[in-house]
Amino acid sequence: MKKKLNIAMIGYQFMGRAHSNAWRQVGKVFDAPYEPVMKVICGRDEAAVKQAAARYGWEEYATDWQQVVHRKDVDVIDICTPGGAHMPIAVAAAETKKVVFCEKPLANTLDEAQQMLTAVRTNGCIHMLCHNYRRAPAVVIAKRLIDDGKIGEIYHYRGSYLQDWIVDPQFPRVWRLEKARSGSGALGDLVSHTADLSRFLVGEISEVAGLLKTFIAERPLPNSAAKAPVDVDDAAVSLIKLENGAIGTIEASRFALGHKNHLRFEINGSKGSVAFDLERMNELELYLEEGPNSGFKTILATDRNHPYIDAWWPPGHIIGYEHTFIHTVLDLMKAIAEEKIPIPNFEDGVRNQRVLDGIERASISGRWEKV
Ligand X SMILES: NC(=O)c1ccc[n+]([C@@H]2O[C@H](COP(=O)([O-])OP(=O)(O)OC[C@H]3O[C@@H](n4cnc5c(N)ncnc54)[C@H](O)[C@@H]3O)[C@@H](O)[C@H]2O)c1
Give the residues lining the site for ligand X (CB under 6 A): 10-16, 43-44, 65, 80-83, 85, 103-104, 130, 132, 189
* Contact (CB, 8 A) for 174 and 185: no
Q: In what order do the strands lie in the sheet with 154-162?
A: 297-300, 283-288, 272-277, 262-269, 154-162, 247-253, 235-242, 205-213, 369-370
Q: Considering the complex, state which of residue 82 and residue 210 has its C-beta at the smaller distance from ligand X.
A: 82
Q: Considering the complex, state which of residue 43 and residue 344 has its C-beta at the smaller distance from ligand X.
A: 43
Least Cβ distance, residue 330 to ligand X (angstroms): 16
Find the distance separating the first CA and the last CA of the chain, reported in whole Å: 48
Q: How far apart are CA 42 and CA 70, in angstroms?
A: 13
Least Cβ distance, residue 269 to ligand X (angstroms): 27
User: In this structure, are strands 3-10 and 34-42 parallel, antiparallel, or unpaired?
Assistant: parallel
Q: Which residue is nearest to ligand X (CB)?
A: 13
Q: Considering the complex, state which of residue 80 and residue 92 has its C-beta at the smaller distance from ligand X.
A: 80
* Contact (CB, 8 A) for 140 and 261: no
Least Cβ distance, residue 205 to ligand X (angstroms): 20
Q: Considering the complex, state which of residue 10 and residue 281 has its C-beta at the smaller distance from ligand X.
A: 10
Q: Considering the complex, state which of residue 89 and residue 299 has its C-beta at the smaller distance from ligand X.
A: 89
Q: Considering the complex, state which of residue 136 and residue 154 has its C-beta at the smaller distance from ligand X.
A: 136
Name 285's bridge partners.
275, 298
Least Cβ distance, residue 93 to ligand X (angstroms): 13
Least Cβ distance, residue 78 to ligand X (angstroms): 11
Least Cβ distance, residue 364 to ligand X (angstroms): 23
Least Cβ distance, residue 193 to ligand X (angstroms): 7
Q: Considering the complex, state which of residue 207 and residue 322 has its C-beta at the smaller distance from ligand X.
A: 322
